[in-house]
Structure 1
Amino acid sequence: MKYSELVDSVRRRGALETAEQARDTTTAVLSTAAHSLDPADRRALASELPGSLDEAVLVPGQREHRSGSDLVIEVAQRLHTTQERARYLAKAVVDGLRDTDADVVERLRERLDSDLIDLLDAGGQPPQRARSVRAEVPTELSEEEVATALRGLTGWEGDHTGISRTVLLPEEAVTPLVNRVEREARAANDHAHVERVQGGVRFTLRTGRAAVTEPDIQLAERIDRIVEAGPGR
């Protein structure tokens, strides 16, 4: 197993920007998992890892029994991120190990007294939909998250690629409504796609070409309040 190949795989799979971030992520995940191994198994795992990483699993103390969820919580704390993002990063490390030496992952599965590997093998959100990829980039919401958000809105429909609401109202009321919505969108540094339709206007919200993010949901809530308040409010 080559250190550079493992770190590069983790960087790509975890949508990390630098090799240093990938190294820190790999170290955090391996150190956390190592607490669930017997000391002898830690030494065996260390012997299979590149020299730059063997110390990560040589943690002190006896074996600690933890569930996969417990391990994800600790990884989140170590990396100062959310549990959703921590699970994705831990999965990136496991997949990176599998890329470079699949036998190591299978031996880990046998040694770990937890559901960690099964948890990380389960399907998860791709990196751009896992929270906290980069703080300045809005998180793309999953299909399930958008469906949940739509249930709390009025008259909106769509999916994770975009949501729309058609508001029926007299012709003379369309322009004032559109102006108010556009002011709200600018204030929130967002944008509403506006389409005049027969008997009203349709608002469509999405970020980029085809993604719904949390700011889009927040703007939809503002539009609902504007429509509910009525003309001139």
Structure 2
Amino acid sequence: MRYQHLVETVRGRAALDSTARARAATSVVLTTLAHCLAPADRHRVAERLPGLLAPAVEVPGQRERRHGEDLLVEIGQRLHTTPERARYLGQAVLGVLREEQPDLVDQLRDQLSTDLLDVLAPAGQPAWLAESTRPDVPTRLSDADVAAALRRLTGWTGDRSAISRTVSLPDDRLTPLVNRVQRVAAREFNDHAHVERGRGWVRFTLSTQRGAVTAPDVALAARIDQVVSGFGSGGRPGPAR
């Protein structure tokens, strides 16, 4: 098993945008798992890995007890991403190891608790859960990310495919509101909101052209909330339609 081949395979499997991020993900996943192994088991695993990866599992200290979800939180913190993306990255790393050295993964399975391995079992999650850092390709948010964002916004609903807000206003104020929102979207975000209108209401919908919600969409939604508040609606949601 060659180090560069393993890292590049992880990069492709996790849809990461650089080899450096694939190296970091591979090392962090292995280091976090290593803390859950006894020192002697860490050494045996290190002997089976490419030399450049061995230090990732030769960590000091005694075996630590962790639950599966705690493992995801720790991986996410180390990689500055969410637990859900950490799950996908862990699945990618172990999936590649399983293909390259199935007996090594079997060895880990014997030494780690079922709880830890279950959260990293391959689940066929879409590759975009592995976070992108390219500024021209914003990361698509997961259902959990979108749900958390909706709790911070005013009157928005939706899921990871799109979010929308319907606002009630007198008809003579709808056009100025829509114009203001679209100016903000164009100037500050190089984007636009999809708009639907009816008598006394307007609905703004945000998503990328690929049918997903990204962090810039959430930021634009927050700015729309500010604009709507400035038009005196008090942030009151419009009728469900």
Common fold by TM > 0.5: yes
- Name the CA distance, whole Å, in 1 between partners of 2:31 and 2:155: 49
In structure 2, the CA distance between the partners of 1:170 and 1:35, relative to structure 1 (3 Å rule), is closer
Task: Name the aligned partner's letter for residue 141 of structure 1.
Answer: L
Structure 2 counterparts to residues 199-210 of structure 1, below 5 A:
201-210=202-211
Q: Which amino acid aligns with 1:134?
A: T
Give the C-alpha shift of residue 97 in structure 1.
0.7
Partner SS, residue 120 of structure 2: helix
Q: Give aligned-pair identity as a percent.
A: 54
Cα gap change, 1:35 to 1:20, in 2 (>3 Å)? same
Q: Are residues 59 and 226 of structure 1, via their aligned partners in 2, closer, same or farther at CA, if it must alter by over 3 Å?
A: closer
Counterparts of 1:112-191 in structure 2, within 5 Å, are 112-113=112-113, 115-121=115-121, 123=123, 126-130=126-130, 132-134=131-133, 136=135, 137-147=137-147, 149-150=149-150, 156-167=156-167, 172-189=172-189, 190-191=191-192
Q: What residue in structure 1 maps to residue 103 of structure 2? A: 103
Query: Cα deviation per residue 1:152-178 (whole Å; 9 max; x = unaligned)?
Result: 656655432223345565654332122
What code does the residue aligned with 1:34 have? A
Shift of 1:75: 3.4
Change (3 A) 1:4 1:177: same
> Does the 8 Å contact 1:192/1:205 carry over to 2?
yes
Q: Distance in 1 between matches of 2:19 and 2:57?
A: 19
CA distance in 2, matches of 1:96, 1:63: 25
Give me the whole-angstrom Cα distance separating, in 2, the residues matched to 1:49 and 1:125: 26
Report the more deviating stretch, 221-230 or 46-55. 221-230
Gaps of 5+ in 2: 235-241
Alpha-carbon distance in structure 1 between the residues aligned to 2:183 and 2:193: 10
Compared CA separation, residues 229 and 97, structure 1 to 2 (3 A):
same
Name the CA distance, whole Å, in 2 between partners of 1:157 and 1:35: 41
Aligned residue type for 2:142: S
Change (3 A) 1:141 1:54: closer
Equivalences for 1:218-229 in 2 at 5 Å?
Answer: 218-229=219-230
**SS at 2:86 equivalent:** helix
Distance 1:11 1:185 in 2: 33
Give the Cα separation in 1 of the matches to 2:104 and 2:150: 44
Number of matched residues?
A: 231
Q: Distance in 2 between matches of 1:122 and 1:67?
A: 18
Scaled by the length of structure 1, the TM-score of the pair is 0.76
Paired with 1:156 and 1:73, the residues of 2 have a C-alpha distance of: 27
Bigger shift: residues 7-16 or 156-165: 156-165
Distance of aligned partners of 1:228 and 1:61 in 2 relative to their CA distance in 1, 3 Å threshold: closer
Q: CA RMSD in A?
A: 3.5
Q: Contact (CA 8 Å) 2:17, 2:132: kept in 1 or not?
A: no
Per-residue deviation, residues 9-40 of structure 1 (Å, max 9, x unmatched): 21112222333432333223223322322233
Deviates more, 1:97-106 or 1:120-129: 120-129
- Alpha-carbon distance, 1:215 to partner: 3.2
Structure 2 CA distance for partners of 1:59 and 1:177, relative to 1, 3 Å: closer
Are the structure 2 counterparts of residues 18 and 138 from structure 1 closer, same or farther at C-alpha, using a change threshold of 3 Å? closer
- Match in the other structure for 1:214: 215
1-structure distance, mates of 2:58, 2:233: 68
Alpha-carbon distance between aligned partners in 2 of 1:128 and 1:179, rounded to the nearest angstrom: 33
